[in-house]
Amino acid sequence: MLAQCMGLLAEMPKWDTGNTGFMLLATSLVMLMTPGLAFFYGGLVGRKNVLAIMMQSFVSMGWTSVVWWVCGYSLCFSGDVHGIIGNLDNAFLRGLDLWSPTPSNPSIPLLVFIAYQMMFAIITPALITGAFANRVRFAPYMIFLTLWLLFVYFPFVHMIWTPNGLLSHWGVRDFAGGIVVHNIAGFAALASVFFVGRRRTADPGLHSVPLVALGTGLLWFGWYGFNAGSEFAVDQVTAQSFLNTDTAASFAAITWLFLAWFLEKKPKFVGLLTGSVAGLATITPAAGYVDITGAVMIGIAAGGVCYFAVALKNKLHWDDALDVWGVHGVGGLLGIVCLGLLGQKYINASGFNGLFYGDTTGFFVKQLVAILFSSVYAFVFTYLMLVVINWVSRVHVAPGDEEAGLDSTLHGEVAYV
């Protein structure tokens, strides 16, 4: 009996406490990003719509966790159906236990990996809500949240972040979510803007710059877990991605600040904050694949390109209320393209050399094809999905509700008395 027990103990996985502890911390940091997003968006809208926009982020924390337990994890990471989606073998997390290891790093319990990936699933659809702020009823939003996870987010997680995924197997790389998080959320946001239409009631917006600053600080802090944690280990790539994250955000923030100062004649605080988020979104797919020089270049490009993307949106009168497309959609797209240019196998052996470093595998072209595919799919599917949802439950709030503000009309609460 003693020999059998000793044998069982010998067969149990040997967890690396350093890696496991770091990933638990990274998971907590990514979780903090969703409340940070709520503060960021809450400060950008008018006083009558603060709670409505914040609730859309917080409800994702609850409802997406439920969907993740029911089928989300399984559809992302269990089995494979033509490289597009997983299966339901691990629905309700059945078949998984305390001793299941993470496939990409067996020194970490699978339960930690499940929790970490769940935090990504929570924040991604919440990003979209800034585009249709002040205009969408709550019940259709809940339907939107569910269907978008099932038919957009989960397939792209599987296609890019699993070994047998269609895009991953082909050679596409996305370290922490340039496509999987920011690009598809940004182009889904643009589709939402076109379908829902412009706000009928002018919203003063930007009622609290301190709230925006608080949200930005929480997002920036959480992003270290978002990017560095995506290595799923504590090693040199983790350190590189951590430093790249801060560097790109800083250069993007300063680039945006100086552009606004020159073109708008004022060094604006909200511009500095928005630029930092653009830099964070843009470095995300490349954080673990480029060197510090690459991070500097990506940060400068993010600050400039995203600034002009927002300016273009304003010129075309697209009512993307909180610039989700310009910051996240364009930022994610730009980051994937920059990775195709600046990636180095020297930094990360699991990546590829970009066009500037002797690309011989067509990596740059694959990145371009992947970003085109993800942008078109996210836009078209989201638009058609909203058409269907609108048949079931009217998406746009009534004119009177919009004028009175969604906090009181939809939720019966107000932020300020």
Q: What is the DSSP string of 273-336?
A: HHHHHHHHHHHGGGTTTS-HHHHHHHHHHHHHHHHHHHHHHHHTT---TT-HIIIIIHHHHHHH
Give the pLDDT confidence score for residue 5 in this predicted structure. Answer: 42
Read off the tokens for 191.
């589709």
> Whats the size of the chain, residue-wise?
417
DSSP 230-247: GGSS-SHHHHHHHHHHHH
CATH number of 17-411: 1.10.3430.10
Give the pLDDT confidence score for residue 340 in this predicted structure. Answer: 98
Distance of alpha carbon 263 from alpha carbon 361, whole angstroms: 41
Ranges of each domain in the chain: 17-411
Q: What is the CA radius of gyration of the chain?
A: 21
| CB count in 10 Å sphere of residue 359 | 18
Distance of alpha carbon 342 from alpha carbon 336, whole angstroms: 10
Distance of alpha carbon 158 from alpha carbon 29, whole angstroms: 23
Are 339 and 282 a contacting pair, CB within 8 Å?
A: no
pTM as predicted: 0.95
DSSP conformational letter for 107: E
Per-residue pLDDT of the chain (417 residues; tens, 9 = 90+): 555 544 444 456 789 999 999 999 999 999 999 999 999 999 999 999 999 999 999 999 999 999 999 999 999 999 999 999 999 999 999 999 999 999 999 999 999 999 999 999 999 999 999 999 999 999 999 999 999 999 999 999 999 999 999 999 999 999 999 999 999 999 999 999 999 999 888 878 899 999 999 999 999 999 999 999 999 999 999 999 999 999 999 999 999 999 999 999 999 999 999 999 999 999 999 999 999 999 999 999 999 999 999 999 999 999 999 999 999 999 999 999 999 999 999 999 999 999 999 998 999 999 999 999 999 999 999 999 999 999 999 999 999 999 999 999 999 999 998
Are 307 and 324 a contacting pair, CB within 8 Å?
A: no
Distance of alpha carbon 54 from alpha carbon 51, whole angstroms: 5
